[in-house]
Amino acid sequence: MQRTIVIGNISLDHIHRPGHPPVHQLGGAALHLAAAAARAGLPVALAAAVGDDLDGLTTDPRLPTLDWSLIYRGLGPSATFVIHYDETEAVTAVTSDYGAAGHLTTHALRLIDRRPQAVFHVSCRHPLDVPAILQALTEHDCLFSLDFHLPSAPQLIPAATPWLHHATTIFVNAQEYALLAHHAGPRPCPETVITDGPRPARVLLHGHAPHLLAPAAVSNVRQITGAGDTLAGTYLAHRTRRLPPAAALDLAVHAATRHTAQFPLTFPAPRRASP
């Protein structure tokens, strides 16, 4: 199975949910997505830019086996995001300090130039220059998929529109899909996966009726950040194995549900036990 290179952020996230104590955890769409894809059997390399505060990332015992060889390591802090949710588990505010992630666009463009036959996934988030990345991927005729995040989607979806039809799969939530459909039509690429919190997820395919699947109820939701990325990574892994969309969505929704019931990757990580 060919390796997929995931371009995006690895970050330190500070999560605030009503009725819960603040949580300081490892995060970033690229990390959540790549970890889920690796657990589902897809060889994954992370193309991210991190600072010296994440030196121990590659030996974190809680993460699956990932290819860390494409990480850019900068001086100073990694990207930091402070994320606030409301009672409905919707994001209400995000404060960002991009830190080393400011080097990500230059780093990713160099990787694309050197690996024109690779398969890529792009987590479209600031500070990545999404148009520059998508143009380079298209010029090299690379296979690539995409996902977006609501706080930056109003800026990044219109900016990405000229290249969306080149993508194999796009992952969005219901609100992001409204923006996507407005700017690029209801089926902007061969496969669009739409999540909607506790409501059914669906896959829209060219020429086919949508596949829908509702997630199972979780009695004790321990984390919500990264659930959509977990779904996307799991779905990509199973579609790469040529599972039909409905079967891949089934497995992806179950993986996202399990993710919400697990404890977050609090930071710093526990040390490995001595042999």
Q: Please report whether residue 25 resides in a domain.
A: yes
Q: Which domain holds residue 255?
A: 4-261
Distance CA 208, CA 242 (A): 17
CB-CB contact of 202 with 210 (8 Å):
yes
- Express each pLDDT in 55-107 by its tens digit: 888 888 889 999 999 999 998 899 999 989 888 878 888 898 999 999 999 99
Structure tokens, 214: 């509702």
User: Is 267 part of any domain?
Assistant: no
Give a yes or no: residue 226 inside a domain.
yes
Examine residue 251 and state whether it is found in any structural domain, yes or no. yes
Q: Could you tell me the two tokens for 17?
A: 């949910």
Per-residue burial over 229-248, b = 16 or more CB atoms within 10 Å of its CB, e = otherwise: bbbbbbbbbbbbeeeebeeb
pLDDT for res 211:
76
Is 268 part of a structural domain of the chain? no
Look at residue 243 and tell me if it is in a domain: yes
Residues of the chain with pLDDT under 70: 207, 209, 216-219, 268-275
- Contact between residue 167 and residue 145 where contact means Cβ atoms under 8 Å apart: yes
The answer to whether position 271 is within a domain reads: no
Q: What angle is formed at CA 190 by the lines to CA 186 and CA 193, rounded to 5 degrees?
A: 65
Which pLDDT score is estimated for 274? 46
Q: What is the pLDDT of residue 270?
A: 56
∠ CA 103-235-268, nearest 5°, is 50
Residue with structure tokens 């330190």? Answer: 12
Report yes or no on 232 lying in a domain.
yes
Which CATH number is 134's domain given?
3.40.1190.20
pTM given for the model:
0.91
Write down the residue that tokens 């690379």 correspond to: 142
Domains held by the chain: number:
1
Tokens, residue 127 = 């500070």
